[in-house]
Amino acid sequence: MKWIINNYKDNFVEESYLNKLSKKDYKNIKLILCPNDKQLSLFKTNCFILGSQDMEYYYQIEDLVKHGVKYTILGHSDTRKKYKETNEIIHEKIKKLVKNNICPILCIGEEENNNVKEVIDKELEVLKDIKLDNIMIAYEPVWAIGTGKIPDTKKLEEILLYIKDKVVLLSGINPILIYGGSVNENTIEKLKHVNLIDGYLIGSASLNINSLETIIEVVKW
């Protein structure tokens, strides 16, 4: 079983797009759709799992509960930059989500030429002193977003193992490990064979129904 998380960011999705998605075979796939704040109600369907993009900047926790959101993206590099989001802010958001039975999808990842492990250590500190039942960690190197570049397979496996061990140490649970950063129809075949990846966080490629269908077909077998 693999997870696919579509992060639509500020883009609007047509109802025809959702109709096409609803007719697809999702054998071995769990599909989470994360629309912008104006489209939450449109995405309420039994065909998909409803997620959201962050909270407080885009939604209040009450909105997420009302619409039946099950997963929420936190700590995305765009949000960290735009709103100067600190670890303390993300920590408090995680506590609110956990209290309301919403699973956090925590994004972490380094800028180019940063020390990867130092960044991971710092960004995972948000999990300290929080009792978690489940957590998704989306490793999304900032330098890979929208560039068409992805990490070397061996290096990526080393990083994912480091993240897993670190999360277990901090929270006592095994995280669901997600990879994001230039996940598209051109990179998915290589990413599919990376050990430890439980799923994929998809940005711009999720807006193109043909690209998304290709990714799903590769991943589900």
Residue 46's pLDDT band (boundaries 50, 70, 90)? low
Check: pTM over 0.85? Answer yes or no.
yes
Res 59: pLDDT: 77
Res 188: pLDDT: 98
Tokens of 187: 């990179």
**Options 14, 56, 76, 193, the catalytic residue:** 76
- Dist CA 208 CA 210 (whole Å): 5
Specify the CATH superfamily of domain 2-219: Aldolase class I (3.20.20.70)
Q: Which among 13-22, 32-41, 42-51, 124-133 has the top mean pLDDT?
A: 124-133
Of 209, 159, 166, 165, nearest to 180 by C-alpha is 159
Q: Is 76 a catalytic residue?
A: yes
Read off the amino acid at residue 86: T
Average pLDDT of span 121-131: 97
Average pLDDT of span 61-82: 92
**Options 112, 140, 157, 213, the catalytic residue:** 140
Per-residue pLDDT at 47 exceeds 80: no
Percent of the chain exceeding pLDDT 90 equals 78
Average pLDDT of span 51-62: 84
pLDDT tens digits for 154-199? Answer: 999 999 999 999 999 999 999 999 999 999 999 999 999 999 999 9
- Dist CA 45 CA 55 (whole Å): 21
Q: Would you list the domain boundaries of the chain?
A: 2-219
pLDDT tens digits for 92-115? Answer: 999 999 999 999 999 999 999 999
Per-residue pLDDT at 31 exceeds 70: yes
Residue 117's pLDDT band (boundaries 50, 70, 90)? very high
Res 45: pLDDT: 66
In whole numbers, what is the pLDDT of the chain averaged over residues? 93
Phi and psi based region of residue 61 (left: phi greater than 0; alpha: psi -120 to 50; beta: remaining) = alpha
- Dist CA 184 CA 219 (whole Å): 11
For the chain, the maximum distance between any two Cα atoms, rounded to a whole number of angstroms, is 45
